[in-house]
Amino acid sequence: PTETIEKVDATDAVAGVDDRDEVRRMLDSLAPQQRRVIVLRYFDDLSEAEVAACLGISVGSVKSSCSRGIAALRTNFAPVTGGER
């Protein structure tokens, strides 16, 4: 039943690897707690309360770590657009 096998463009597969590598590099630039919070919150789709319980920290710490981590990602990896954001 080869009819059910979807053809995949090799460049798409390679681009996916490049994207994953880029995301990993970006996450590795964060402080450990920021990275853990962002991964649990956005990649594992946990609520703030679930992240807090999982890491043994307060919901406020989850919010601040997430906010600081996202700010760091925006600052460090913002596209260059001629000086404008």
Domain borders along the chain are 11-77
What gap in Å lies between CA 66 and CA 37, rounded to an integer?
Answer: 6
**Strand locations in 1-85 (E):** none
What per-residue confidence (pLDDT) applies to 12?
Answer: 54
DSSP code for 7: P
Q: At 78, is the pLDDT very low, low, confident or very high (cuts 50, 70, 90)?
A: confident
- Which residues, at least 6 apart from 31, have a Cβ–Cβ distance to it below 8 Å? 65, 68, 69, 72
Tokens 């681009």 sit on residue: 15
What gap in Å lies between CA 18 and CA 81, rounded to an integer?
Answer: 22
More confident residue, 25 or 5: 25
Question: Considering the entire predicted model, what is its pTM?
Answer: 0.71
As assigned by CATH, the class of the 11-77 domain is mainly alpha
pLDDT in tens, 28-76: 999 999 999 999 999 999 999 999 999 999 999 999 999 999 999 989 8
Q: Is the per-residue pLDDT at 6 higher than 50?
A: yes
